[in-house]
Amino acid sequence: MMAAYSKAEALQPLWTVKSICDAADAVSSGPDSAIFGLAIDSRDVREGDAFFAMPGTQMDGHDFVAMAFEKGAAIALVRRDWTPPETIDDARLIRCDCPKQALIAMGVARRAAVDAKIIGVTGSVGKTSLKDALFRCLGRERLAHTNVRSFNNDVGVPLTLARMPLETQYGIFEMGMNHAGELTELSAWVRPHVALITTIALAHYEHFENEEGIADAKAEIFTSLAPGGTAILPADNKHFARLKAAAEACGAAHILTFGMASSADVRPVTVSRHADCTALSATIGDETLMFKVGIPGAHWVMNAIACLAGVKAIGGDLGLAGLSLAEMRALPGRGAVTNVPVGGGSAQLMDDSYNANPASVTAALETFASVNVGARGRRIAVLGDMLELGEGAPALHAGLIEKVLAADVEILICVGPLMAHLADAAQPHISIFKVLDHAAALSALKSTVRSGDAVLVKGSNSMQLGRLVSALKDGA
């Protein structure tokens, strides 16, 4: 059975009812049947899964147990005191104190049972991209396992751990946070052999007094580094010394650095940027590797260098990693460029709608500047609010004006009350639309886009600009 989160077929069932009960201190009156997958959302349930009736502030997973069984779930983990509808056989239930705590216990148990090399990845920008790159590179040679999408919080990480096949040889875990203390908990569950920080920048800033606080919170990933473990740090970041001190205080046996700095252990030597890829050579310790990255953009140079550092630290094959990086393509919502129908022709759409902060918007605009437009084509940027930036949010939005102008954007559609500050800053320079939501942004875009244009869509996920992207692809 192919799992979306492991690059190999499971050689045996993922769990059994008995092993779940043992790990989660739970009970079942049913047979000890095999379980082939785990789901926390009834919409994701597949045949043979265990469904977790997760507690929630908006919805209670117990309300969806019947739906999960209709979709083929083998069993459901529920609270001990839950009374099921008459249509549900109690033998198909595993009863526990709390399904979420049961999931955490299963994740911890599976981490202890698996003899795999584990990499933990965090940072203000690029976590998911780097996680995906490491998964592709390491999965080319051995059984690798990683998070689905961005399942990187206190539910997603234990779910990913519990989904890890016993045969796994490489585990790559993305770990996110927006408050101090969160990564300490996640790291204790993952216990990485290698812990990598992509960078420190302004993200989730409203929960911290300053950027140093963000650096300290990210450095919590080192708190449960396995004995003899390696910390991988961005050599170019202004908080490098702070991160290094934190890693050493947590007992990191090795420090490996990546970046443009001549002192970095892993760094690019030559870089040749093209519209659809980047060719480069890099030094990795005393080795040199020439390779290509199949995704354009300056930020992907650094992603690739960080990826090679991770492969080196975990003992992977650097040659195979180079081949894998050449095969990478940008994902929907994370920079994928496609053609969409416009007025009898087409426009290029750069879909970076999944999330946004000042660093990632800057990187997107720099990449957008290299997208070729038609003879009469223009660059149109649809930018949505960047959230969780605290009191400095208005200035951070307005401060994007230099990057917008450097990208040769001719039409700017600002979506949301915070991006209105950028609209005000850009007003004298380029054509502006100031709108409140994705629907109004689509209307503004439809009124101005024409064949040969290039369109960038970027904003925080809750701005729902993905809906605008879907409408464009559907030819709305």
Question: 217 burial class (0-12, 13-18, 19+ CB within 10 angstroms)?
Answer: buried
Give the single-character DSSP code of 404.
H
* Range 49-73 burial, b when 16+ CB lie within 10 A, else e: bbbbbbeeeeeebbebbbebbebeb
Residue (of 327, 342, 400) closest to 376 by Cα position: 342
Of 19, 148, 113, residue with least CA distance to 75: 19
Do β-strands 117-122 and 194-197 pair in parallel, antiparallel, or remain unpaired? Answer: parallel
Which whole number is the average pLDDT over 226-245? 97
Element (H, E) at 38: strand 37-39
The stretch 240-254 carries a mean pLDDT of: 98
**Amino acid 203: pLDDT:** 67
Query: What is the identity of the amino acid at 312?
Result: K
pLDDT band at 204 (very low <50, low <70, confident <90, very high): low
Q: Tokens 């016993």 correspond to what residue?
A: 166
**Beta-carbon count within 10 A of 453 CB:** 25
Q: What is the pLDDT of residue 216?
A: 96
pLDDT digits (tens, 9 = 90+) for 367-419: 999 888 877 899 999 999 998 888 889 999 999 999 999 999 999 999 999 99
pLDDT interval class at 205 (50, 70, 90): low
pLDDT (average), residues 205-216: 83
Residue 19 gets the label, from left (phi > 0), alpha (psi -120 to 50) or beta, of alpha
Residue 319, both tokens: 């040659």
- Is a pLDDT exceeding 80 seen at residue 52? yes
Answer yes or no: is pLDDT of 251 > 90.
Answer: yes
H or E stretch covering 241: helix 240-249
Residue 347, both tokens = 């426009």
* Tokens coding 391: 């009191």
Asked if the model's pLDDT at residue 299 lies above 90, the reply is no
Within 10 A of 227 (CB to CB), how many other CB atoms are there? 8
Average pLDDT of the segment spanning 53-77? 94
User: What percent of the chain has pLDDT above 90?
Assistant: 79
Model confidence band, residue 2 (pLDDT cutoffs 50, 70, 90): very low
For the chain, the average pLDDT equals: 92
Per-residue pLDDT of 118-165, as tens digits, reads 999 999 888 999 999 999 999 998 999 999 878 999 999 999 999 999
